[in-house]
Structure 1
Amino acid sequence: MYSMKEMIHLSGISRRTLYYYDQIGLLTPEVVDDNGYRIYSEQNLIRLQQILLLKSLGYTLSQVAELLSGQTLPQNGKEAWVHSLEQQIAWVDEEQEKLQRKRYLLKSMIHAVGTSGKVNAPELQQLLKALESKEVMNANKPQFNSDTYTPEELSILSSLPVMGSEDSRIQEYIELLEHIRLYMSEPPESDTVQYLAKRLWNWLLLLFQGNTQLLEKYWANLAPKQEEDSPVYGHDKELVAYVNRMMDVFLKRMGAEEQ
């Protein structure tokens, strides 16, 4: 058993806070005698420790109360502590997943802005809503239809870098698109644009493990259909059309050189 003074010493919270927790039914002492002297049990101390952890994770007191409602702890002190600490690890893990999700969303927005070359509030809002509906850990791998791709192609596609991930290949791709956007006013045949086309082609070949048929199939799916947006944010009609033109020039020249 613990006195209020001992609870304050062990937890570092104030007497006023302990009174308030009792007042709102969050932490009721085991015993309150006729003189108002409060005695706390081991279970009370465990519950207080849970409350403090949840508060540190950003939970409001009402959320803490809801989370702890109906909770029963083993009577044995050791078992109660182990049970409580395991539960708290689960809460921390859950919070880490939420934070990782937020980080992924923010990183995805950085990549999206870099790819699109502009900040478009409605599209960014749409991106956030779309990502919010997906469970995310380190990254969100897109799903590919097995009716459209062969097992070998699916294996290659599963290794592609993902928007929002820490994969360095994504940054290289974004930088390439940024450079291409800068020169979209120039003819696709210009030396500068063709240099970028060569860089993009070599990068894509490496990414798709030399499978040019899969590369063409995948890129075709990036093109926006009529009034719809591209499945990958930042690949607007103008960009995709320009890249197609510059790559057509590059591939024709490469084919001519090989003959």
Structure 2
Amino acid sequence: MYTVGQLSKLTGVSVRTLHYYEKLGLLEPDRNTGNQYRSYSENEILRLQKIAVLKQMHFKLSEIKVILDNGEVAHHDTAVWSRALTQQMVFVKQEQEKLQAVEHLLFSTLYAMRATEQVNIEEMLGFIRELEQPPQGPQLRQQAFTPEELEVLPINDVSNPLAMGWSDILRRVSGLLAEPPDSEASQQLAASIIEYADKMFDGNEQLIQKYWEYITPQEGQAARVYGMTDEVMQYIDAIIRIYLGEDDPRA
């Protein structure tokens, strides 16, 4: 058992905060019938530990109380502590996935603005819609790629400075769509795309091809990756095939 002062000193949680948690019913310390001094059991330490984790995950105190009220009593039971910590890890994992989804949405919006050099209100509306209804992209990628491949896919690392670089290439593509695929400008672009892909996929040509096939929209479908419409992908495919000598533009 710990006094309120001892618990405050050991956890870094102020005495005032501990009193406030008690007032809200988050903590229920024992009271000495003689002097009314508070004493905190192991069960209260477990509850305080849960509160600390859930607060970091931005749960409101009222929400935390509901979670705690559905909990268990500890009494030195390692199984209870294990279940509690495992449940918290599940909570943390879920929050991480939500935050990663938001991170990808933010990145995609910045990416689109950089590629087009304008703010697209429809994209912003789509952003809001996807926040309310999480996109299916992660599930689709898990079906298409092995865990090892997913680890190195550029889409999984928005912190990679190369990831935003594709928006610059897309902007160049949009300005050259009317150019013949064998023109000097188109072939310079093809060289840039090949160099970029080699860096992004660390020279893994098999994964490059697999990813290209994955993002290619089926007939009548919208682009799977922003800006990669059927027209854009056909143009890119054409200029690269010529650059690699696979197609003769004079044929």
TM-score (norm 1): 0.65
**Alignment-derived partner of residue 36 in structure 1:** 36
**Alignment-derived partner of residue 76 in structure 2:** 76
Name the % identity. Answer: 26
Measure the CA separation in 1 of the matches of 2:58 and 2:71. Answer: 20
Q: Is the 8 A contact 2:114 2:168 kept in 1?
A: yes
**Alignment-derived partner of residue 60 in structure 1:** 60
Q: Does 1:8 align with 2:8?
A: yes
- What RMSD in Å do the two structures reach over aligned CA positions? 4.6
Q: Note the 1:191-202 alignment, pairs <5 A.
A: 191-197=184-190
Q: Is the 8 A contact 1:30 1:44 kept in 2?
A: no
SS in 1 for 2:248: helix
Q: Is the 8 A contact 1:30 1:40 kept in 2?
A: yes
Q: Note the 1:80-159 alignment, pairs <5 A.
A: 80-127=80-127, 129-130=129-130, 132-134=133-135, 139=138, 141-142=140-141
> What is the aligned length?
238
SS in 2 for 1:254: coil
Does the C-alpha gap of structure 1 residues 164 and 28 become closer, same or farther in structure 2, counting only changes over 3 Å? same
Unaligned runs of 5+ in 1: 145-153
Unaligned runs of 5+ in 2: 199-204
For 1:93, the aligned partner's letter is K
**Alignment-derived partner of residue 232 in structure 2:** 240
For 1:86, the aligned partner's letter is T
Measure the CA separation in 1 of the matches of 2:23 and 2:47. Answer: 15
Measure the CA separation in 1 of the matches of 2:209 and 2:18. Answer: 67
* Cα deviation 1:59-85 (Å, max 9, x = unaligned): 221121122122112423555444433
CA drift of 1:56 comes to 2.3
Q: Note the 1:183-194 alignment, pairs <5 A.
A: 183-184=176-177, 190-194=183-187
Measure the CA separation in 2 of the matches of 1:177 and 1:8. Answer: 56
**Alignment-derived partner of residue 165 in structure 1:** 156
For 1:134, the aligned partner's letter is P
**Alignment-derived partner of residue 150 in structure 1:** none
Which of 1 and 2 has greater Rg?
Answer: 1
TM-score (norm 2): 0.67
Q: Is the 8 A contact 1:108 1:165 kept in 2?
A: no
